[in-house]
Structure 1
């Protein structure tokens, strides 16, 4: 295997045939695998040194002079460890949110979707399964039911991503969201996906194969429709808002505990009481995030703070009791607003002070 093909692969410039040939070569022997890891280390360090002047210069300038060398050293180690794969990532995943979009393949391999180039995903036969773009993955085809392989896509705070599943269903994933889904749906049976976080679904119609979203303790079943599901693990509820079509939301452990939704309705599952409720809503409010907006309607600040944390990848500590009791209404364009802009806007209604230390925001009483 030539170093040229390895270099092209690491730079996301290799063709489908070259990628498959590289994978075959890596799996052929431990020696090849070790050689590839060594080449990946060298590539990572070379990339870091060439990018330091552009990407990390502001950070270095903020450090005391005697810490500059230490910072560069740690940055290099981190980048190399990131490239080594599953073990290092899993050891750190429980203590810190990853800052890149991570695709975990069915065989346990991890891919970090940070490259700008288009790449291809092939199966063990060299057949095209999906095309990966900077902000989207598009899947193709179906397989026999016993050959269904599940992938998991995890989107960190501060980012969003889009999937087109192999049946044509389009899924938009919000910040802090994870979706487990079939690489290719089976020829028979249901179309099952598993959601943690928030996603907007545009489900391809297929009456013979119901599409089911498993979200915490609730299941949402559809035949073909558009709807939003919010199921963040820190929230005591699962909300499903229907835009068009029809869906059925039920308790995962008891399918007889069920509610049918019509457009412009939202179903809410209460984790503690095991109850389902439905109400009329303006769906535009609940899908504003898919258009790059944050929409609030008489929303408590505690909820707004969680949304800001996920959207901008920050931590908010609120020590202002008056602010904690306030509700707010409004719409904010994410691309045009910083966290400071939003906080300054909220201060007009309820005075408070805040300080920012790196990514931690502390809100206190006004002086």
Structure 2
């Protein structure tokens, strides 16, 4: 067991000790870690002696999750915060039970952050990237077919197919605007490099319609679902994304757009550069975003709400991580169902409003994730194949 595996295991043992108690073998395992060093003893005592942890179950609904999250971030330098999100969050398969496991992670974090070699935790055979490419003539190509490494459109555009990735190289015929479409099923993701060099990372249950080479004054594409864009700069040809009528216009920048068909909003989160978001309808509105800002467009009214956000919460999926902060369990399960192909039912409506925060690897087994929810003592989870039923404890 590598060191990060061991620390995650210890945090789970401490969480179980507080909530349920340990059996004899688990008690011996935890004691062995405690007695291994003075630093471990101090860390354990600090965790167990904290009143907020000892009384955690009684005070569950009074916990200030925002305050706890901010304290966790302030304990690290900016470079280490970035390291945490990009490296440890990519591999750790621990769900933060507010605030208990957050506290455990806080005290063990300094040792964890010094590691330079990691392995995935709680691996399962998540579906490998598989997608469907629809060519300009309507031909459908399975992108999980390893026998295909290159394609060619009738205008001469070359399409290179790699592992989970397509790359377009424009042809010489610029007389006709030809479109391709990529569709991503549940449990998969895919990356495109468009003819202008723009990179598009498509999330599960998403599709993108795009010209195989850009002709005209704008570079226009159509998105359904979620994608992270890294747009190639071209001041003379703005890049415009049509998302359910909402237009997101950029010159060169990095941002995330989320708008699944069942959602009521188009959510644009800006990481770098600037974007202009324009809603549709009679009362269309326009808003400019700066890095760290998010525009939420109501599909029904066209109203735009702007807010400052932690962009990691909305872009971590492309790093192979689910990351949630004080989210409704219904919203969390909606995200999980797109990846794990689940059907989720609730025994009563009030459960949908329960709020949780956490992070875990997208290769984690769904059973281990649901087990962490049960550790909160607030919900009971039944798993039957791809069906999950959630009730109150």
Return the offset for 1:252: 3.2
Q: Which residue of the other structure, out of 307, 321, 330, is the alignment partner of 2:358?
A: 330
Return the offset for 1:320: 4.3
1:229 aligns with 2:257: yes
Gap runs ≥5 in structure 2: 1-128
Write the mapping of 1:242-257 to structure 2, written as runs, cut at 5 A. 242-253=270-281, 257=285
Which residue of 1 is the match for residue 146 of structure 2? 116
- CA-to-aligned-CA distance 1:162-195 (integer Å, 9 cap, x gap): 0000000000000110111111212x32100000
Which residue of 1 is the match for residue 46 of structure 2? none
Quote the Cα distance in structure 2 between the aligned partners of 1:218 and 1:201. 16
SS in 1 for 2:235: coil
Which residue of 1 is the match for residue 366 of structure 2? 339
C-alpha spacing 1:129/1:346, structure 2 compared with 1 (3 Å)? same
Which residue of 1 is the match for residue 268 of structure 2? 240
Write the mapping of 1:293-332 to structure 2, written as runs, cut at 5 A. 293-332=321-360
Quote the Cα distance in structure 1 between the aligned partners of 2:198 and 2:244. 21
CA contact (8 A) 1:118 1:132 kept: yes
C-alpha spacing 1:274/1:238, structure 2 compared with 1 (3 Å)? same
C-alpha spacing 1:144/1:317, structure 2 compared with 1 (3 Å)? same
C-alpha spacing 1:215/1:145, structure 2 compared with 1 (3 Å)? farther
C-alpha spacing 1:226/1:160, structure 2 compared with 1 (3 Å)? same
User: Which protein, 1 or 2, shows the higher relative CO under an 8 Å CA cutoff with sep ≥ 6?
Assistant: 2
Return the offset for 1:284: 1.2
- Report the number of matched residues: 265
Q: RMSD across aligned C-alpha pairs, in angstroms? A: 1.9
Quote the Cα distance in structure 2 between the aligned partners of 1:341 and 1:272. 38
Structure 1-normalised TM-score? 0.68
Which residue of 2 is the match for residue 147 of structure 1? 176
Which residue of 1 is the match for residue 224 of structure 2? 196
Quote the Cα distance in structure 2 between the aligned partners of 1:219 and 1:190. 12
SS in 2 for 1:185: coil
- CA-to-aligned-CA distance 1:189-226 (integer Å, 9 cap, x gap): 21000000000000000011100010013100000000
- CA-to-aligned-CA distance 1:221-271 (integer Å, 9 cap, x gap): 000000000011101100000001000000134696100000000001012
Higher strand share goes to which structure?
1
Quote the Cα distance in structure 1 between the aligned partners of 2:166 and 2:283. 32
SS in 1 for 2:285: strand
Q: Which residue of the other structure, out of 274, 283, 298, is the alignment partner of 2:311?
A: 283
C-alpha spacing 1:340/1:350, structure 2 compared with 1 (3 Å)? same
Return the offset for 1:298: 1.0
Quote the Cα distance in structure 1 between the aligned partners of 2:194 and 2:178. 13
C-alpha spacing 1:293/1:160, structure 2 compared with 1 (3 Å)? same
Larger mean Cα displacement after TM superposition, 227-236 or 316-325: 316-325
C-alpha spacing 1:139/1:239, structure 2 compared with 1 (3 Å)? same
Quote the Cα distance in structure 1 between the aligned partners of 2:280 and 2:171. 26
